[in-house]
Amino acid sequence: MSVTDLNVVARALVAPGKGILAADESSPTIKKRFDSISAESTEDSRRSYREMLFTTPDACRHISGVILFDETLRQSTRDGTPFPDYLSSQGMIPGIKVDKGAKALPNFTGEKVTEGLDGLNNRLAEYRDLGAKFAKWRAVIDIGDGIPTDFCILANAHALARYAALCQEAGLVPIVEPEVLMDGDHDIVLCEEVTNTVLSVTFDQLKLHRVNFEGMLLKPNMVISGKKCPVQAGAEEIAEATVRCLTANVPEEVPGIAFLSGGQSDVDATTHLSAMNKLGSHPWELSFSYGRALQASALQSWAGQKENYELGQAAFGLRAKLNGLARTGSYNPSMESATT
């Protein structure tokens, strides 16, 4: 795939009014989600749940693409249509999570590095043949006592850049996801400082690896207070700090930034995205690539019961619509009570 073709896919993923559904939870992670609704996690129940999301009426109006897990990429709808084919037929671009998870970084207590570069070439070729048009790799950076270290940031940025280069070589658009976690007690000032460093080092590495910025997307954290911080920043402060951080580090050639929700509630994630887009025009599209923040209400409404299928779809459809409105800064929390 040429640079032009990569750019076309990247821009389609952050098309106005649309964003990405992250449905790439690993089997252990989705089991935890199913446990929360007392539903058994089996291959078929996972397939059925994801089909519920993908076949939601008019989902393509607000969902541009879907990040799939290896298992899901190989599954089909009840009528036998492979998920990648179904999504493509509905105007939603199929993608794939390709990393092997964050593992302990030797000699660096409390820090992790994402693995999965070994054999990635072959996996990318297979995923492309199965219908994937883009890929995702997540790195996690924690804030705590003495961390993150410069080496942890560099190790993860280097892996992200190698992954991105391999993706583009294989004809897939890479979504580069360096996530500064919000699990600590740090304030928004420290989060901005760390996020600035992480993004700066990441783009330095991307440049060194000759990754074409026009054929990639960034999936960062928002600049936000840690969950345990006694003083939580408001939406306007989060929006201003995040845009300031992105402006300082993200080249204008990057087509779009699709935020992760990172443990925020669905309402908060939508509110903060809308606040950023209210600030005015930006050189890149500011979009979303949410997992829990798009799925939480749908999961609860479905509750693992076939008879709740349409309820789950209604909840997902509303959440997608509200995030679509946040893309233009048009979201208002009063819309949460809407039923259609």
Where in the sequence numbering do the catalytic residues fall?
A: 177, 219
DSSP 8-state code for residue 17: T
Q: How many CB atoms are closer than 10 A to CB 140?
A: 20
Question: Of all helices (H) and strands (E), which one includes residue 10?
Answer: helix 3-13
User: What's the CA gap between 30 and 54, in Å, rounded?
Assistant: 16
Q: Decide: helix, strand or coil at residue 225.
A: coil
Instruction: Spell out the residues 6+ positions from residue 118 whose beta carbon is closer than 8 angstroms to its own.
Output: none
How far apart CA 47 and CA 71 sit, in angstroms, is 9
Task: Answer whether 65's CB lies under 8 Å from 97's CB.
Answer: no
- Give per-residue burial for 275-285: e unless 16+ CB within 10 Å, then b: bbbeeeebebb
Q: What is the Cα–Cα distance from 148 to 141, expressed in whole angstroms?
A: 7
Q: DSSP assignment of 118-142, as one string?
A: TTHHHHHHHHHHTT--EEEEEEEE-
Residue 91's region, left for phi above 0, alpha for psi from -120 to 50, else beta, is: left
Asked whether 68 and 132 are in contact (CB, 8 A), the reply is yes
Angstrom distance (rounded) from CA 171 to CA 133? 8
**Contact of 117 with 162, CB cutoff 8 Å:** yes
Q: Spell out where the chain has E strands.
A: 19-23, 63-68, 93-97, 102-104, 112-114, 134-141, 173-180, 217-218, 256-259, 285-290
